[in-house]
Amino acid sequence: MSKMYYRELYCGSPIRFWSGLALLGAFIAIGLGSAYYMEHNGHWVTGMSNQIVWGLPHVFAIFLIVAASGALNVASIGSVFGGPLYKPLGRYSGLLAIGLLAGGLMVLVLDLGRPDRLIVAMTEYNFKSIFAWNVILYSGFFAIVGVYLWTMMDRSVSKFNRPVGFAAFFWRIALTTGTGSIFGFLVAREAYDAAIMAPMFVIMSFSYGLAFFIITLITAYIWGDREIGDLRLTRLKNLLGVFVGAVLYFTLAYNITNLYITQHHGIERFILLDGGIYTQMFWLGQILIGSILPLYLIYSPAFEKSRWAIAAASIAVLIGGFFQIYIIVIGGQAYPMNLFPGKEVVESGFFDGVVASYTPTFPEAALGVAGIAVALAMVAVGARVFKVFPETLEDPNS
């Protein structure tokens, strides 16, 4: 195989680069302004309440954090599992992972009731809390992926690439297990309290992370007027197909288990049949747009080498993934907790027994979008300053 050269990614037109960056900066500024507005007034100005305690910012944050660990997969396949076609993509994989995690964490922290007390979260740990573990897992991820990138980019330490790659791979599995367990460990609510949440989040991360990776990779190479070969894109595309199928399988296993357990029939009916917006999000968002459409685009012979189909499939996976997290986070809270089995709540001073309503507000959405903008800005600057992208990704022997 010919030697791979990496070069900073320069956009053909400087105006396009700087205006693109300025646009991301504007999104970030609006998001930070929104966070200030919500913090200054208190959360009553958002759609969140004492019934829906985690709102749209959490959906964005969890989506980005899950995608972050998945974005690292391409690097892992290259250095841990020895996939030569993936190896040149490792540096970008690491950079994207760091960017997505930073964006997600920013949203998560700025939605805290007391973001000024971040120091407390970093100095006081309750090791029975998966949240406390996640503080360590998330910050450790930055450090490990940083070192991983170093071993990929500096020849003098490249001998450590494989062991560090292994460490990063196990760390990222632990990270997404931890994120899934936030819900898996909640005994109170019927939608959660299931061990399958942890592996399901791991497989969701594979899918969303790769979709993010493919769509940004294609964009970057168009941006920098560089070439990507069909063989490499087809490999990535087929891998995405497997991951989308796996997410669908886990979704099936989760719902069938709940359908079997009489106690959980209520929540299943809510999500699958009569939950209004959540039912629509499940069937149209998660299943149709997020699963069936990308599988069709990926596996239909009609789109065998169509780059538009690959890009469209990746975007569909991301849209479907966003809906999936929305249903888990918001739908799981909207369905009322069953405090009194066998009883019907006739009156309550605190919304017992009724489906909680939630309408996201602009500041919440702006903060979430700012998280995506932070990820993309870090990637854009990182790829311009560091030698992240190979000069060309043309197929070997072509």
Partner 1 sequence: MSKKGDQPSMERRQFIGGTIAAAGAVTIAPGVILHAVADTNQRTEGASSEHRWGMVIDANKCADGCTACVDACNSEHGLTDLGRPETDAAWIRTVKLKDKQTGNISRLPVMCQHCEHPPCVDVCPTNASFKRADGVVLVDRHRCIGCRYCMMACPYKARSFIHEALSDQSVSAPRGKGCVESCTLCVHRIDEGVMQTACQEACDKDGHAAILFGDLKDPNSEISQVLKKYNSVQIRGDLELNTGVRYRNL
Binding residues for partner 1, rule: CB under 8 A, are 39, 41-44, 48-51, 53-54, 112-121, 123-126, 128-132, 134-135, 182, 185-189, 333, 337, 339-340, 342-352
Phi-psi map region of 343: left, alpha, beta (phi>0 left; psi -120 to 50 alpha): beta
Between 252 and 261, whose beta carbon lies closer to partner 1? 261
Between 190 and 268, whose beta carbon lies closer to partner 1? 190
For the bound state, the minimum distance from the C-beta of residue 374 to partner 1, rounded and expressed in Å, comes to: 16
For the bound state, the minimum distance from the C-beta of residue 290 to partner 1, rounded and expressed in Å, comes to: 24
Q: For residue 321, give both structure tokens.
A: 């993934």
For the bound state, the minimum distance from the C-beta of residue 241 to partner 1, rounded and expressed in Å, comes to: 34
Provide the β-strand partners of residue 6: 390
| 390 sits in which H/E element | strand 389-390
Q: What is the DSSP letter of 3?
A: P
For the bound state, the minimum distance from the C-beta of residue 259 to partner 1, rounded and expressed in Å, comes to: 20
CA distance 152 to 128: 36
247 phi and psi, to 5 degrees? -60, -40
CA distance 130 to 107: 19
Instruction: Look at residues 34, 68, 7, 58 and name the one whose alpha carbon lies nearest to residue 378.
Output: 68
Between 23 and 337, whose beta carbon lies closer to partner 1? 337
| Helix 56-71 and helix 130-153, axial crossing angle in degrees, nearest 10 | 40
Residue with tokens 């399901």: 200
For the bound state, the minimum distance from the C-beta of residue 384 to partner 1, rounded and expressed in Å, comes to: 16
| 6 sits in which H/E element | strand 6-7
Between 308 and 340, whose beta carbon lies closer to partner 1? 340
For the bound state, the minimum distance from the C-beta of residue 50 to partner 1, rounded and expressed in Å, comes to: 5
CA distance 354 to 51: 10
Q: From the CB of residue 395, how many other CB atoms can be counted at a distance below 10 Å? A: 15
Between 221 and 278, whose beta carbon lies closer to partner 1? 278
| 130 sits in which H/E element | helix 130-153
For the bound state, the minimum distance from the C-beta of residue 131 to partner 1, rounded and expressed in Å, comes to: 4
Between 289 and 328, whose beta carbon lies closer to partner 1? 328
For the bound state, the minimum distance from the C-beta of residue 312 to partner 1, rounded and expressed in Å, comes to: 35
- Non-local (6+) Cβ contacts of 63 within 8 A are 104, 208, 321, 322, 325
Between 3 and 347, whose beta carbon lies closer to partner 1? 347
Q: What is the DSSP letter of 284?
A: I
Between 131 and 260, whose beta carbon lies closer to partner 1? 131
